């Protein structure tokens, strides 16, 4: 679960991580009232669950009340498209109005879970700010990582070494080390999957300040954090993902055109690999889960079909607890309620033949295949 920048900054403040002064506004009038506290020298920031706002015009500095009003009114109630959102963008219903701080330097600091070392790691760069993706692409040696010890955490000596690599001046090494330690504590105590501060700035008067804040919390741990659950903003989430969540279907929207209906997370990932390796792109990750019935399969199918990017669907099922005939009936049921594009079907396991026959007898455009090599042929981009 993602939370907004203004919520993340409150969390930062709880962990003694310095953040700019400011408040969130839902109307232009409120934005002006907040700005007045800082003599209208403020930065106004669109609150959306995505980065790249700076480059997309969602973050702007002001010194005039009229301009703040007109900018807030154009932003509020519209959708903002950034490099990190889909084509349709995400709604801006709140803006964060903050005092402007003079910036000496922009650093990058994040804590994430690293699959390679199977550890929590701290990632940092001297070259933070809106071009961090380009730094990662062109100068990966300018991005440093520190692996946290599962018991000892981010040991201070490692953070001091990191600070040196980041060319942080001697007087700020200790504050930096404390800030990173607090960020790590926040990460662990709230079961985060990512915490990112970009930029972490050194202000003109030599203070460290978290100018931006991104916090992502592991959905599977939310039951342990009822307080955090209240920060959820469903309006920022993909409609299909929210709908899938209601039926306990694991669905993640992706950029491609091949819809995927699969049972089992591992098989779903392997299915996406086959599609990608053949040169096509999956439109979604979907794991229907073990105990699915006809209605749940139908709902999964309808969710996939509601995505206008989808022009074909790969159904890859291994019938176990979910019998193939039940799945097939679910697919046919969906086709009565929605238009279904051509589907390529691989069914194995319990009642696979019966399931295949149900699909062949239906009015659907179905192509049956036996193994994944054949699937590869289907998704080769001509
Ligand atoms: P993002 O593009 O969505 O990551 O939005 P950020 O919150 O990181 O803002 C983008 C950029 O706006 C930052 O890298 C800063 O350069 C600039 N910015 C944001 N807040 C301030 C501020 O208080 N003072 C100054 N001088 N620049 C700011
Ligand atoms: Mn940022």
Per-residue pLDDT tens digits for 165-177: 999 999 999 999 9
Looking at ligand 1, which atom is closest to the CA of residue 53? Answer: 3
For 270-320, what is each residue's pLDDT tens digit?
999 999 999 999 999 999 986 789 999 999 999 999 999 999 999 999 988
Q: Which of 5, 98, 106, 196 is catalytic?
A: 196
199 in ligand 1 pocket by Cβ < 6 Å? yes
Looking at ligand 1, which atom is closest to the CA of residue 84? Answer: 3
- The pLDDT of 98-117, averaged and rounded, is 97
Give the Å distance between the CA of 117 and the centre of ligand 1: 32
Q: Residue 381: pLDDT above 80? A: no
Count of all residues that appear for the chain in the document: 382
In the annotation, is 67 catalytic? Answer: no
H helix or E strand, kind and range, residue 273: helix 265-277
Whole-angstrom distance, CA of residue 107 vs CA of residue 123: 11
H-assigned helices in the chain: 5-14, 28-37, 53-56, 65-75, 132-138, 156-165, 170-189, 226-229, 239-246, 265-277, 294-305, 324-337, 352-361, 372-379
Strands (E) across 321-374 are located at 343-349, 366-368
Using alpha carbons, list the distances in angstroms from residue 115 to 12, 121, 226, 269, 272. Answer: 25, 10, 27, 16, 19
Say if residues 76 and 93 touch (Cβ distance below 8 Å). yes
Beta bridge partners of 200: 107, 210
Whole-angstrom distance, CA of residue 164 vs CA of residue 187: 23
Confidence of residue 355 (pLDDT cuts 50, 70, 90): very high
- What lies within 8 Å, CB to CB, of 214 at 6+ separation is 2, 5, 8, 51, 194, 195, 196, 197, 198
SS3 sequence of 280-328: CCECEEEECCCCCCHHHHHHHHHHHHCCCCCCEEEEEEEECCCCHHHHH
Q: Would you state the pLDDT for residue 382?
A: 54
22 in ligand 1 pocket by Cβ < 6 Å? no
Q: By C-alpha distance, which of 220, 300, 320 is closest to 252? A: 300
Nearest CA residue ID for atom 16, ligand 1: 129
Confidence of residue 373 (pLDDT cuts 50, 70, 90): confident
198 in ligand 1 pocket by Cβ < 6 Å? yes
Give the Å distance between the CA of 226 and the centre of ligand 2: 27
Give the Å distance between the CA of 194 and the centre of ligand 1: 19
Reported pTM: 0.85
From the CA of 84, the nearest ligand is 1
Say if residues 175 and 209 touch (Cβ distance below 8 Å). no
Q: Residue 376: pLDDT above 90? A: no
């Amino acid at each position: 679960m993602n939370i907004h920048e203004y919520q993340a900054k409150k969390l930062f403040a709880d962990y003694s991580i310095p953040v700019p002064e400011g408040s969130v506004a839902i109307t232009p009038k409120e934005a002006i009232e907040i700005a007045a506290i800082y003599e209208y020298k403020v930065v106004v920031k669109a609150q959306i669950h995505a980065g790249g706002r700076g480059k997309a015009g969602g973050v702007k500095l002001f010194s005039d009340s009229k301009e703040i009003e007109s900018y807030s009114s154009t932003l509020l109630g519209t959708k903002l498209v950034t490099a990190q959102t889909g084509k349709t963008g995400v709604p801006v219903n709140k803006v964060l109005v903050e005092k402007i701080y003079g910036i000496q330097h922009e650093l990058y600091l994040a804590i994430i879970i690293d699959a390679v070392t199977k550890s929590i790691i701290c990632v940092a760069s001297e070259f933070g700010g809106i071009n961090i993706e380009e730094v990662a692409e062109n100068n990966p040696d300018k991005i440093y990582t520190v692996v946290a010890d599962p018991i000892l955490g981010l040991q201070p000596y490692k953070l001091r070494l990191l600070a040196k690599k980041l060319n942080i001046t001697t007087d700020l090494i200790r504050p930096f080390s404390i800030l990173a330690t607090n960020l790590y504590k926040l990460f662990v105590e709230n079961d985060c999957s990512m915490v990112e501060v970009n930029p972490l700035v050194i202000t003109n008067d030599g203070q460290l300040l978290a100018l931006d804040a991104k916090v992502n919390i592991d959905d599977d741990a939310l039951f342990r954090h009822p307080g955090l659950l209240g920060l959820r903003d469903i309006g920022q989430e993909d409609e299909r993902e929210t709908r899938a969540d209601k039926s306990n279907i694991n669905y993640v929207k992706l950029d491609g055109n091949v819809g995927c209906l699969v049972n089992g997370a591992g098989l779903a990932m392997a299915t996406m690999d086959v599609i990608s390796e053949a040169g096509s792109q999956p439109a979604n990750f979907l794991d229907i889960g073990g105990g699915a019935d006809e209605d749940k399969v139908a709902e999964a199918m309808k969710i996939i079909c509601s995505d206008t990017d989808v022009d074909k669907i790969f159904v890859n099922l291994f019938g176990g607890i979910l019998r193939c005939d039940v799945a097939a009936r679910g697919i046919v049921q969906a086709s009565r309620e929605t238009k279904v594009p051509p589907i390529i079907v691989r069914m194995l396991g319990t009642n696979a033949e019966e399931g295949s026959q149900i699909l062949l007898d239906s009015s659907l455009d179905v192509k049956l295949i036996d193994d994944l090599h054949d699937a590869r042929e289907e998704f080769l981009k001509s």
